[in-house]
Amino acid sequence: MRLIRPFRGVRPTKDMASKVAAFPYDVINRSEATALAANNPYSFLHINKPEIDVSDDISPYDPIVYETGRINLDEFLNSGVLSQDDEETFYVYKQKMGSHEQTGLVAVASVEAYEKGIIKKHELTRPEKEDDRVKHMEALGAQVGPVFLTYKYDKQISDLINQAREDIPAYDFDADDGIQHTFWVIKDAALRDALNEAFNRIEAIYVADGHHRSAAACRVKKIYAERNKAHSGNESYNYFLAVLFPHTEIKILDYNRILKDLNGLSSGGFLEALQLNFNLQKAVGGEQVKPNKANEFGLYTDGAWYKLNLKSQVASSLQTEDASERLDVAIMQRYILSPLLNICDQRTDHRIDFVGGIRGLSELERRVDGGAYEAAMSLYPTSVESLMCVADSNQVMPPKSTWFEPKLKSGLITHLLD
- Looking at residues 191-204, what average pLDDT do you find? 96
Task: Give per-residue pLDDT as tens, 262-272.
Answer: 999 999 999 99
CB of 7 closer than 8 Å to CB of 118? no
pLDDT at 1 over 90: no
Q: Assess if CATH 1.10.3210 describes domain 255-380.
A: no
> Dihedral angle at the C-alpha atoms of 221, 224, 227, 231, nearest 10 degrees?
-70
Residue 237 pLDDT: 98
Cα gap 136→131, rounded to integer Å: 9
Q: Which are the contacts of 320, defined by CB distance < 8 A and separation ≥ 6?
A: none
> What pLDDT, in 10s, does the model give residues 143-197?
999 999 999 999 999 999 999 999 999 999 999 889 999 999 999 999 999 999 9
Distance CA 247, CA 258 (A): 29
Q: What is the pLDDT of residue 171?
A: 98
Q: Rounded distance, CA 19 to CA 349, Å?
A: 37
Output the pLDDT for position 126.
81
Q: Give the type of residue at 161.
A: I
CA triple 210-213-216, angle to 5 deg: 145
Answer whether 15's CB lies under 8 Å from 410's CB: no
Percent of the chain with pLDDT over 90: 90
pTM score: 0.87
Q: Where are the domains of the chain?
A: 4-252+406-416, 255-380
Q: Where are the alpha helices (DSSP H) in 102-250?
A: 111-115, 127-140, 155-164, 189-199, 211-227
| In the chain, % of residues over pLDDT 70 | 100
Q: Is the pLDDT of residue 244 over 90?
A: yes
**Rounded to an integer, what distance in angstroms lies between the CA atom of residue 322 and that of residue 407?**
30
φ/ψ of residue 11, rounded to 5: -140, 160
> Looking at this protein, which amino acid is placed at residue 44?
F
The model's pLDDT over 372-389, given as tens digits with 9 standing for 90+, comes to: 999 999 999 999 999 999
- Burial of 152 by CB count in 10 Å (0-12 exposed, 13-18 middle, 19+ buried)? middle
